[in-house]
Amino acid sequence: MNSNGEGRTDYRRSLVLVMAIGLLATSAWVLWRYENTGTVKMVGSATGRIGLVLGALWLAWPSLRKPASWLPPGFAVLGVLVLAILAAQPRLILVMVPAFGGLLVLASIFRAKRQ
């Protein structure tokens, strides 16, 4: 592993793929096996959406490594978490997007003042 952590990226990308496949398989199993009522339908749909988001993250992993350097530390991960939350409950977009934008602006201001 290099000092900048390049050796770990293959492990992380593989882990994201395993998680995506696991969530999509769980979603298919829940929606196929159980009655589509109430909570069961919500859990099946949410795991499917989060699995799709993680699958898209797995596909975009190589291109995400470069732009993440200009983001404040931890914001790439926070962005993925916001996408996963929005995939599970799309109505939260009215809260999550402004909150994420506000945190990004605050972090950028603090980072600029520190330098």
- The set of residues, in sequence order, having a beta carbon less than 8 Å from that of 52 and lying 6+ positions away, is 20, 24, 87
Q: What is the pTM of this model?
A: 0.59
Distance CA 49, CA 62 (A): 22
- Is residue 104 within 8 A of residue 74, CB to CB? The reply is no
Average pLDDT, the chain: 80
d(CA 9, CA 1): 10
Cα separation values, 44 from 29, 33, 52, 102, Å = 8, 10, 12, 32
User: What is residue 71's three-state secondary structure?
Assistant: coil
Highest mean pLDDT among 5-14, 17-26, 41-50, 89-98: 17-26
Amino acid at 108: S
Q: What angle do CA 90, 70, 62 make, to 5 degrees?
A: 70
pLDDT tens-digit profile of 46-85? 899 989 988 988 888 877 766 556 667 677 777 778 888 8
